[in-house]
Amino acid sequence: MRLLERMRKDWFMVGIVLAIAGAKLQPSIGVNGGPLKPEITVSYIAVATIFFNSGLSLKTELLT
């Protein structure tokens, strides 16, 4: 039971390890022209999401 509790506490690290293992097993998913389309998702969607999240964290007083 302690292992399950530890995994719940460190869920982000578990997710990183799973993502790395998945990339090692199926590297063809992330190549240019593959199903994830990294040439589009990384260039446009990921950058826009980062800026959007940064904007949401600003206080309203700073914007006015």
Quick one: 48 and 63 in the same domain? yes
What does the pLDDT read at residue 9? Answer: 92
Residue 61 has what pLDDT? 83
Q: Are residues 44 and 56 in the same domain?
A: yes
What is the per-residue pLDDT for 12?
A: 94
What is the pLDDT, as a whole number, of residue 34? 86
Backbone angles phi, psi at 59, to 5 degrees: -80, 150
Considering the domain architecture, whether residues 37 and 61 belong to the same structural domain is answered as yes
Cβ-count burial 19-51 (b if 16+ within 10 Å, e if not): eeeeeeeeeeeeeeeeeeeeeeeeeeeeeeeee
Consecutive 10-residue averages of pLDDT for the chain (64 residues) = 88 94 93 87 90 89 76
Q: Which domain holds residue 56?
A: 31-64
Domains contained in the chain, number: 2
